[in-house]
Amino acid sequence: MKNKELFKPEISEDKLCEKFLLLRDNSKYLPAKQLIEQTFSLMGDQDGNFIKDFQSENGFYNRLWELYLFNVFVECRFVIESGNQYPDFQISQKEETVFVEAVTANSSPEDLLTDELIDEGKNSTDIEKKEETQSDTIDQYVIRLNSALRSKRDKVYKDEKRYWELDWVKGNPFVLAIEPCFNKYSFFFPDYKITELLYGQGYETKVDSENRLIGQKINVQEYSYKYKKTLIPSGFFNQKDSENISAVIFSNLGNIDKFNRMALQYKPTNEIFAVRSGLCYNSEEDSLAKDFSYQVGDGTHIEDWKEGVSIFHNPNAEIKLNRNLFKGCKQIWIEENEFKGEIPEFYPYNSITGTIKKDEIIHHLEKEELIKSTSEDDLRKLLSDDKLNSIVFGTNE
Protein backbone atom coordinates (compact mmCIF):
# COMPACT_ATOMS: atom_id res chain seq x y z
CA MET A 1 0.00 0.00 0.00
CA LYS A 2 1.27 3.45 -0.91
CA ASN A 3 2.33 5.48 2.13
CA LYS A 4 -0.07 8.34 2.82
CA GLU A 5 1.21 11.73 3.93
CA LEU A 6 -0.40 12.55 7.25
CA PHE A 7 0.58 16.23 7.23
CA LYS A 8 -0.23 17.00 3.59
CA PRO A 9 -3.53 18.93 3.81
CA GLU A 10 -6.58 17.09 2.51
CA ILE A 11 -8.98 19.79 3.70
CA SER A 12 -8.89 23.54 3.18
CA GLU A 13 -6.35 25.51 5.22
CA ASP A 14 -9.03 27.48 7.08
CA LYS A 15 -10.56 24.24 8.42
CA LEU A 16 -7.32 22.74 9.76
CA CYS A 17 -7.27 22.06 13.49
CA GLU A 18 -5.20 24.44 15.62
CA LYS A 19 -3.34 21.53 17.24
CA PHE A 20 -2.64 19.99 13.84
CA LEU A 21 -1.08 23.29 12.73
CA LEU A 22 1.00 23.38 15.91
CA LEU A 23 2.41 19.96 15.06
CA ARG A 24 2.94 20.78 11.42
CA ASP A 25 4.49 24.23 11.77
CA ASN A 26 6.13 24.58 15.20
CA SER A 27 9.65 23.16 15.20
CA LYS A 28 9.50 22.59 18.97
CA TYR A 29 7.15 19.71 18.20
CA LEU A 30 9.11 18.24 15.30
CA PRO A 31 10.05 15.15 17.38
CA ALA A 32 6.35 14.51 18.09
CA LYS A 33 5.45 15.05 14.44
CA GLN A 34 8.03 12.51 13.28
CA LEU A 35 6.96 9.93 15.87
CA ILE A 36 3.29 10.41 14.96
CA GLU A 37 4.12 9.89 11.27
CA GLN A 38 6.04 6.73 12.18
CA THR A 39 3.15 5.41 14.29
CA PHE A 40 0.64 6.12 11.52
CA SER A 41 2.77 4.27 8.96
CA LEU A 42 2.72 1.21 11.24
CA MET A 43 -0.95 1.45 12.21
CA GLY A 44 -2.38 2.28 8.80
CA ASP A 45 -5.69 3.81 7.81
CA GLN A 46 -8.31 1.22 8.64
CA ASP A 47 -11.41 3.15 7.54
CA GLY A 48 -9.94 5.45 4.90
CA ASN A 49 -10.88 8.62 6.77
CA PHE A 50 -7.96 8.93 9.16
CA ILE A 51 -6.03 11.77 7.51
CA LYS A 52 -9.01 14.07 6.98
CA ASP A 53 -10.18 13.44 10.54
CA PHE A 54 -6.70 13.99 11.98
CA GLN A 55 -6.46 17.36 10.25
CA SER A 56 -9.92 18.60 11.26
CA GLU A 57 -11.11 20.32 14.41
CA ASN A 58 -13.71 17.62 15.06
CA GLY A 59 -11.48 14.59 14.54
CA PHE A 60 -7.96 15.51 15.63
CA TYR A 61 -8.12 14.42 19.27
CA ASN A 62 -9.86 11.13 18.56
CA ARG A 63 -7.32 10.16 15.89
CA LEU A 64 -4.39 11.19 18.11
CA TRP A 65 -5.91 9.04 20.86
CA GLU A 66 -5.96 6.07 18.46
CA LEU A 67 -2.27 6.59 17.64
CA TYR A 68 -1.50 6.71 21.35
CA LEU A 69 -3.48 3.53 22.04
CA PHE A 70 -1.68 1.74 19.21
CA ASN A 71 1.63 2.39 20.98
CA VAL A 72 0.19 1.28 24.34
CA PHE A 73 -1.03 -2.01 22.84
CA VAL A 74 2.29 -2.69 21.11
CA GLU A 75 4.13 -2.03 24.37
CA CYS A 76 1.77 -4.44 26.18
CA ARG A 77 2.86 -7.09 23.64
CA PHE A 78 -0.40 -7.34 21.76
CA VAL A 79 -0.53 -8.36 18.12
CA ILE A 80 -2.70 -5.80 16.34
CA GLU A 81 -4.88 -7.39 13.69
CA SER A 82 -6.36 -5.66 10.66
CA GLY A 83 -9.23 -6.44 8.34
CA ASN A 84 -12.35 -5.18 10.10
CA GLN A 85 -13.33 -1.53 9.81
CA TYR A 86 -14.73 -1.44 13.34
CA PRO A 87 -14.26 -1.57 16.26
CA ASP A 88 -11.04 0.47 16.05
CA PHE A 89 -8.74 -2.28 17.35
CA GLN A 90 -8.62 -6.05 17.30
CA ILE A 91 -5.73 -7.03 19.55
CA SER A 92 -4.55 -10.47 20.57
CA GLN A 93 -2.13 -11.99 23.02
CA LYS A 94 -1.47 -15.72 22.80
CA GLU A 95 -4.94 -17.30 22.47
CA GLU A 96 -6.95 -14.29 23.67
CA THR A 97 -8.53 -11.64 21.44
CA VAL A 98 -9.90 -8.28 22.62
CA PHE A 99 -11.81 -5.63 20.65
CA VAL A 100 -11.36 -1.98 21.56
CA GLU A 101 -13.33 1.07 20.44
CA ALA A 102 -11.62 4.44 21.02
CA VAL A 103 -13.61 7.52 21.96
CA THR A 104 -12.81 11.01 23.18
CA ALA A 105 -15.02 13.19 25.36
CA ASN A 106 -15.20 16.29 23.19
CA SER A 107 -16.61 19.76 23.63
CA SER A 108 -20.18 20.51 22.64
CA PRO A 109 -21.35 23.72 20.93
CA GLU A 110 -24.33 23.64 23.30
CA ASP A 111 -22.14 23.73 26.42
CA LEU A 112 -22.35 27.14 28.05
CA LEU A 113 -19.39 26.57 30.38
CA THR A 114 -16.62 27.86 28.12
CA ASP A 115 -12.86 28.09 28.72
CA GLU A 116 -13.32 31.85 29.15
CA LEU A 117 -15.90 31.40 31.92
CA ILE A 118 -13.70 28.82 33.65
CA ASP A 119 -10.69 31.15 33.47
CA GLU A 120 -12.77 34.00 34.87
CA GLY A 121 -13.93 31.92 37.85
CA LYS A 122 -10.53 30.34 38.41
CA ASN A 123 -8.83 33.75 38.57
CA SER A 124 -11.57 35.42 40.61
CA THR A 125 -10.80 36.91 44.03
CA ASP A 126 -14.32 35.92 45.09
CA ILE A 127 -13.89 32.62 46.96
CA GLU A 128 -17.52 31.62 46.46
CA LYS A 129 -17.29 32.18 42.70
CA LYS A 130 -14.01 30.29 42.54
CA GLU A 131 -15.52 27.28 44.36
CA GLU A 132 -18.65 27.39 42.22
CA THR A 133 -16.55 27.35 39.03
CA GLN A 134 -14.55 24.39 40.33
CA SER A 135 -17.78 22.49 41.07
CA ASP A 136 -19.23 23.36 37.64
CA THR A 137 -16.04 22.21 35.93
CA ILE A 138 -16.16 18.84 37.69
CA ASP A 139 -19.83 18.42 36.77
CA GLN A 140 -19.02 19.25 33.14
CA TYR A 141 -16.22 16.66 33.21
CA VAL A 142 -18.59 13.89 34.33
CA ILE A 143 -21.29 14.90 31.82
CA ARG A 144 -18.89 14.84 28.87
CA LEU A 145 -17.41 11.45 29.85
CA ASN A 146 -20.86 9.96 30.35
CA SER A 147 -22.09 11.25 27.00
CA ALA A 148 -19.09 9.78 25.15
CA LEU A 149 -19.40 6.37 26.81
CA ARG A 150 -23.15 6.13 26.24
CA SER A 151 -22.85 7.14 22.58
CA LYS A 152 -20.50 4.22 21.90
CA ARG A 153 -22.46 1.72 23.97
CA ASP A 154 -25.72 2.62 22.24
CA LYS A 155 -24.34 2.92 18.70
CA VAL A 156 -26.11 0.71 16.18
CA TYR A 157 -24.44 -0.51 12.97
CA LYS A 158 -25.72 -2.25 9.88
CA ASP A 159 -28.42 -4.88 10.46
CA GLU A 160 -29.26 -3.14 13.76
CA LYS A 161 -26.23 -4.64 15.48
CA ARG A 162 -24.24 -3.22 18.38
CA TYR A 163 -20.46 -3.66 18.55
CA TRP A 164 -20.62 -6.83 20.65
CA GLU A 165 -23.20 -8.37 18.29
CA LEU A 166 -20.95 -8.16 15.23
CA ASP A 167 -19.99 -11.61 13.99
CA TRP A 168 -16.25 -11.05 14.42
CA VAL A 169 -16.63 -9.59 17.93
CA LYS A 170 -19.05 -12.11 19.45
CA GLY A 171 -17.63 -14.19 22.30
CA ASN A 172 -14.66 -11.89 22.93
CA PRO A 173 -14.11 -9.06 25.43
CA PHE A 174 -15.24 -5.66 24.13
CA VAL A 175 -13.60 -2.60 25.69
CA LEU A 176 -14.17 1.16 25.43
CA ALA A 177 -11.08 3.40 25.63
CA ILE A 178 -11.79 7.01 26.55
CA GLU A 179 -9.83 10.25 26.95
CA PRO A 180 -11.22 13.67 28.01
CA CYS A 181 -10.48 16.40 25.43
CA PHE A 182 -13.30 18.91 25.80
CA ASN A 183 -11.36 21.88 27.20
CA LYS A 184 -7.84 22.84 28.19
CA TYR A 185 -8.40 21.71 31.78
CA SER A 186 -9.83 18.26 31.02
CA PHE A 187 -6.35 16.71 30.70
CA PHE A 188 -5.58 17.62 34.32
CA PHE A 189 -8.39 15.75 36.06
CA PRO A 190 -7.22 12.44 37.56
CA ASP A 191 -9.32 9.31 37.24
CA TYR A 192 -11.28 9.45 40.50
CA LYS A 193 -14.40 10.94 38.87
CA ILE A 194 -14.59 8.36 36.11
CA THR A 195 -14.22 5.68 38.80
CA GLU A 196 -17.30 7.13 40.47
CA LEU A 197 -19.19 7.42 37.17
CA LEU A 198 -18.49 3.82 36.16
CA TYR A 199 -19.17 2.06 39.47
CA GLY A 200 -21.68 4.41 41.14
CA GLN A 201 -19.44 4.58 44.17
CA GLY A 202 -16.26 6.28 45.18
CA TYR A 203 -14.57 8.03 48.07
CA GLU A 204 -15.16 11.41 49.64
CA THR A 205 -11.83 12.63 50.94
CA LYS A 206 -10.55 15.31 53.28
CA VAL A 207 -7.18 16.21 54.75
CA ASP A 208 -6.77 15.97 58.53
CA SER A 209 -4.67 18.15 60.82
CA GLU A 210 -1.61 15.96 60.20
CA ASN A 211 -1.92 16.36 56.43
CA ARG A 212 -3.16 12.81 56.01
CA LEU A 213 -5.80 11.88 53.48
CA ILE A 214 -8.99 10.50 55.05
CA GLY A 215 -11.45 8.75 52.74
CA GLN A 216 -15.05 7.71 53.27
CA LYS A 217 -16.83 5.42 50.82
CA ILE A 218 -19.89 6.97 49.19
CA ASN A 219 -22.61 5.85 46.79
CA VAL A 220 -23.49 8.19 43.93
CA GLN A 221 -26.89 7.79 42.24
CA GLU A 222 -26.90 10.68 39.80
CA TYR A 223 -25.29 13.94 38.75
CA SER A 224 -26.78 17.34 38.13
CA TYR A 225 -25.30 20.11 36.01
CA LYS A 226 -26.68 23.62 36.08
CA TYR A 227 -25.99 24.10 32.37
CA LYS A 228 -28.01 20.97 31.53
CA LYS A 229 -31.43 20.47 33.08
CA THR A 230 -31.60 16.66 32.95
CA LEU A 231 -30.13 14.50 35.71
CA ILE A 232 -27.37 12.11 34.67
CA PRO A 233 -27.42 8.62 36.23
CA SER A 234 -24.22 7.28 37.75
CA GLY A 235 -23.05 3.65 37.72
CA PHE A 236 -22.45 3.17 33.98
CA PHE A 237 -21.44 -0.46 34.54
CA ASN A 238 -24.79 -1.11 36.26
CA GLN A 239 -26.93 0.18 33.39
CA LYS A 240 -28.79 -1.75 30.72
CA ASP A 241 -26.53 -3.12 27.94
CA SER A 242 -23.33 -2.23 29.82
CA GLU A 243 -22.90 -5.89 30.73
CA ASN A 244 -21.60 -6.24 27.16
CA ILE A 245 -18.66 -3.95 27.91
CA SER A 246 -15.84 -5.85 29.59
CA ALA A 247 -13.84 -2.83 30.75
CA VAL A 248 -13.06 0.83 30.17
CA ILE A 249 -9.56 2.11 29.46
CA PHE A 250 -8.82 5.69 30.55
CA SER A 251 -5.94 8.11 30.27
CA ASN A 252 -5.55 11.90 30.28
CA LEU A 253 -2.04 11.77 28.80
CA GLY A 254 -2.52 10.81 25.14
CA ASN A 255 -1.63 14.26 23.84
CA ILE A 256 1.01 16.00 21.70
CA ASP A 257 3.33 16.46 24.67
CA LYS A 258 3.33 12.69 25.28
CA PHE A 259 4.59 12.03 21.75
CA ASN A 260 7.15 14.83 22.05
CA ARG A 261 8.50 13.48 25.35
CA MET A 262 8.73 9.92 24.07
CA ALA A 263 10.57 11.07 20.96
CA LEU A 264 12.98 13.30 22.90
CA GLN A 265 13.59 10.58 25.46
CA TYR A 266 14.84 8.03 22.95
CA LYS A 267 16.30 10.39 20.39
CA PRO A 268 17.58 13.48 22.25
CA THR A 269 18.48 16.63 20.38
CA ASN A 270 20.59 19.53 21.58
CA GLU A 271 18.14 21.93 19.92
CA ILE A 272 15.03 21.18 22.03
CA PHE A 273 14.68 20.92 25.81
CA ALA A 274 11.62 19.78 27.76
CA VAL A 275 10.76 19.82 31.46
CA ARG A 276 7.85 17.78 32.80
CA SER A 277 6.12 18.48 36.14
CA GLY A 278 2.99 17.11 37.75
CA LEU A 279 1.37 15.08 40.52
CA CYS A 280 1.84 11.35 41.00
CA TYR A 281 0.75 8.49 43.23
CA ASN A 282 2.19 8.35 46.74
CA SER A 283 2.54 4.77 48.02
CA GLU A 284 2.61 5.85 51.67
CA GLU A 285 -0.70 4.98 53.32
CA ASP A 286 -3.25 7.84 53.45
CA SER A 287 -0.81 10.23 51.81
CA LEU A 288 -1.48 13.07 49.42
CA ALA A 289 -0.20 12.93 45.86
CA LYS A 290 3.48 13.78 45.34
CA ASP A 291 4.96 16.48 43.15
CA PHE A 292 7.42 15.39 40.48
CA SER A 293 9.58 17.23 37.98
CA TYR A 294 12.37 16.18 35.64
CA GLN A 295 14.15 17.03 32.43
CA VAL A 296 13.06 14.80 29.60
CA GLY A 297 15.95 12.65 28.43
CA ASP A 298 18.30 13.30 31.37
CA GLY A 299 17.92 9.74 32.71
CA THR A 300 16.04 10.80 35.86
CA HIS A 301 12.89 9.06 34.70
CA ILE A 302 12.21 6.67 31.83
CA GLU A 303 8.64 7.09 30.60
CA ASP A 304 6.71 4.38 28.79
CA TRP A 305 3.50 4.47 26.77
CA LYS A 306 1.26 2.80 29.35
CA GLU A 307 2.27 5.25 32.08
CA GLY A 308 -0.93 6.91 33.33
CA VAL A 309 -3.27 4.33 31.77
CA SER A 310 -6.09 2.99 33.96
CA ILE A 311 -8.13 -0.15 33.26
CA PHE A 312 -11.55 -0.31 34.94
CA HIS A 313 -12.99 -3.82 34.95
CA ASN A 314 -16.75 -4.22 34.75
CA PRO A 315 -18.00 -6.42 37.62
CA ASN A 316 -21.20 -7.14 35.66
CA ALA A 317 -19.54 -8.03 32.36
CA GLU A 318 -20.77 -11.18 30.65
CA ILE A 319 -17.27 -11.62 29.21
CA LYS A 320 -14.49 -10.58 31.57
CA LEU A 321 -11.22 -8.98 30.52
CA ASN A 322 -8.17 -10.93 31.65
CA ARG A 323 -6.20 -8.66 34.00
CA ASN A 324 -2.94 -10.35 33.02
CA LEU A 325 -3.17 -8.82 29.55
CA PHE A 326 -2.44 -5.32 30.85
CA LYS A 327 0.36 -5.84 33.33
CA GLY A 328 2.05 -2.58 34.26
CA CYS A 329 -1.13 -0.51 33.97
CA LYS A 330 -3.19 0.73 36.87
CA GLN A 331 -6.17 -1.63 37.19
CA ILE A 332 -9.36 -1.37 39.26
CA TRP A 333 -11.96 -4.05 39.90
CA ILE A 334 -14.69 -4.91 42.43
CA GLU A 335 -14.66 -7.88 44.79
CA GLU A 336 -17.46 -8.36 47.33
CA ASN A 337 -18.57 -4.78 46.73
CA GLU A 338 -15.11 -3.42 47.62
CA PHE A 339 -12.58 -1.74 45.35
CA LYS A 340 -9.50 -3.80 44.60
CA GLY A 341 -6.64 -2.94 42.32
CA GLU A 342 -3.00 -2.62 41.42
CA ILE A 343 -0.99 0.46 40.60
CA PRO A 344 2.54 0.94 39.26
CA GLU A 345 5.17 2.45 41.54
CA PHE A 346 5.11 5.60 39.41
CA TYR A 347 1.65 6.63 38.28
CA PRO A 348 1.11 10.26 37.20
CA TYR A 349 -2.31 11.74 37.88
CA ASN A 350 -1.57 14.63 35.57
CA SER A 351 1.37 16.58 34.18
CA ILE A 352 2.38 19.61 32.19
CA THR A 353 5.37 19.77 29.86
CA GLY A 354 7.31 22.93 29.07
CA THR A 355 9.19 22.74 25.78
CA ILE A 356 11.74 25.27 24.60
CA LYS A 357 14.31 25.58 21.84
CA LYS A 358 17.98 26.11 22.51
CA ASP A 359 18.03 29.56 20.93
CA GLU A 360 15.12 30.67 23.15
CA ILE A 361 17.05 29.60 26.26
CA ILE A 362 20.15 31.42 25.13
CA HIS A 363 18.12 34.56 24.40
CA HIS A 364 16.65 34.62 27.91
CA LEU A 365 19.91 33.87 29.65
CA GLU A 366 21.98 36.32 27.66
CA LYS A 367 19.36 38.98 28.30
CA GLU A 368 19.85 38.51 32.04
CA GLU A 369 23.60 37.91 31.71
CA LEU A 370 23.29 34.46 33.26
CA ILE A 371 25.22 32.50 30.67
CA LYS A 372 28.57 32.64 29.00
CA SER A 373 28.65 29.17 27.46
CA THR A 374 26.05 27.72 25.08
CA SER A 375 27.22 24.11 25.19
CA GLU A 376 24.55 21.44 25.58
CA ASP A 377 26.01 20.26 28.91
CA ASP A 378 25.94 23.75 30.38
CA LEU A 379 22.37 24.32 29.27
CA ARG A 380 21.18 21.01 30.72
CA LYS A 381 22.80 21.85 34.04
CA LEU A 382 20.97 25.17 34.09
CA LEU A 383 17.70 23.42 33.39
CA SER A 384 17.81 21.91 36.86
CA ASP A 385 17.52 25.38 38.36
CA ASP A 386 14.14 26.90 39.26
CA LYS A 387 15.13 30.00 37.29
CA LEU A 388 15.31 28.19 33.99
CA ASN A 389 12.28 26.04 34.76
CA SER A 390 10.26 29.26 34.99
CA ILE A 391 11.67 30.33 31.62
CA VAL A 392 10.72 26.99 30.04
CA PHE A 393 7.14 27.09 31.29
CA GLY A 394 6.80 30.82 30.71
CA THR A 395 7.38 30.42 27.00
CA ASN A 396 4.68 27.74 26.73
CA GLU A 397 1.77 29.63 28.25
**Rounded-to-integer distance, Cα 327 and Cα 329, Å:** 6
pLDDT of residue 363: 67
* Structural domain range at position 132: 59-253+307-346
pLDDT of residue 220: 85
Q: Are both 342 and 355 inside the same structural domain? A: no
Q: Is residue 31 part of a domain?
A: no
**Residue 301's closest CA among 252, 255, 265, 258?**
265
DSSP string over 154-170: T--BGGGB-GGGSTTTT
Q: Is residue 41 part of a domain?
A: no
Contact 56, 17 (CB under 8 A): yes
**Rounded-to-integer distance, Cα 366 and Cα 66, Å:** 42
Q: Are both 198 and 140 inside the same structural domain? A: yes
Q: Is residue 52 part of a domain?
A: no
pLDDT of residue 346: 95
Q: Is residue 46 part of a domain?
A: no
Contact 140, 107 (CB under 8 A): no
Segments of the chain with pLDDT less than 50: 1, 371, 385, 394-397
pLDDT of residue 333: 97
Q: Are both 192 and 312 inside the same structural domain? A: yes
Model pLDDT for residues 122-165, shown as the tens digit of each residue: 777 888 888 787 778 888 888 889 999 999 999 998 778 999 99
Q: Is residue 27 part of a domain?
A: no
The CB density around residue 378, as the number of other CB atoms within 10 Å, is 13
Q: Are both 97 and 173 inside the same structural domain? A: yes
Q: Are both 116 and 226 inside the same structural domain? A: yes
Q: What Rg value do the Cα atoms of the chain yield, rounded?
A: 22
Q: Are both 354 and 289 inside the same structural domain? A: yes
pLDDT of residue 395: 43
283: phi then psi, degrees, rounded to nearest 5: -75, -10
Q: Are both 164 and 293 inside the same structural domain? A: no
The number of distinct structural domains making up the chain is: 2
Q: Are both 133 and 281 inside the same structural domain? A: no
Q: Are both 124 and 194 inside the same structural domain? A: yes
Q: Cα–Cα–Cα angle for 277, 281, 287, nearest 5°?
A: 115
Q: Is residue 54 part of a domain?
A: no
pLDDT of residue 396: 43
Q: Is residue 23 part of a domain?
A: no
Model pLDDT for residues 337-348, shown as the tens digit of each residue: 899 999 999 999
Q: Are both 296 and 324 inside the same structural domain? A: no
Q: Are both 196 and 114 inside the same structural domain? A: yes
User: How distant, in Å, are the alpha carbons of 69, 99, 329, 340 from that of 306?
Assistant: 9, 18, 6, 20
**Rounded-to-integer distance, Cα 204 and Cα 219, Å:** 10
Q: Are both 166 and 299 inside the same structural domain? A: no
pLDDT of residue 380: 57
Q: Is residue 10 part of a domain?
A: no
**Rounded-to-integer distance, Cα 242 and Cα 193, Å:** 18
